[in-house]
Amino acid sequence: MEDWPAVAKAIKDRMDESGTSQKQLAERSGLSTATLREIARGDSDRRRSAGTLAKISEALGWPSGYLLSVARHTELTEVKPTESEGGADDRLIEEVRAIRELLERIDARLSK
């Protein structure tokens, strides 16, 4: 079982230390701000892919497996994602979320 509050704390602490905004982290990681916001809350039991955590880790200047090791309470050298983690399906889902977020912003502008 993964420890999502620990992942959220690690992300928030690193963002605070580096002065990184959620928007900047989204740009660096290629993930939507909605996804980052959900992960940063740390209250979701929703499983995140190793690929998603790797993108955030790298965007924050950590090794790609860092947040996965935080989530699993393992040493960084012990983290070996399985084939099913971080696959093409996860990337597609992230892309769809980013598109949805963009469409919501466009809709909000048009509604004004």
CATH number of 4-111: 1.10.260.40
| Domain extents in the chain | 4-111
Residue 87 pLDDT level (bands cut at 50, 70, 90): low
The answer to whether the pTM exceeds 0.75 is no
Rounded (to 5) percent helix, strand, coil in the chain: 70, 0, 30
pLDDT tens track for 22-79: 999 999 999 999 899 989 888 766 778 888 999 999 999 999 889 999 998 887 764 4
The C-alpha R_g of the chain, in whole angstroms, comes to 14
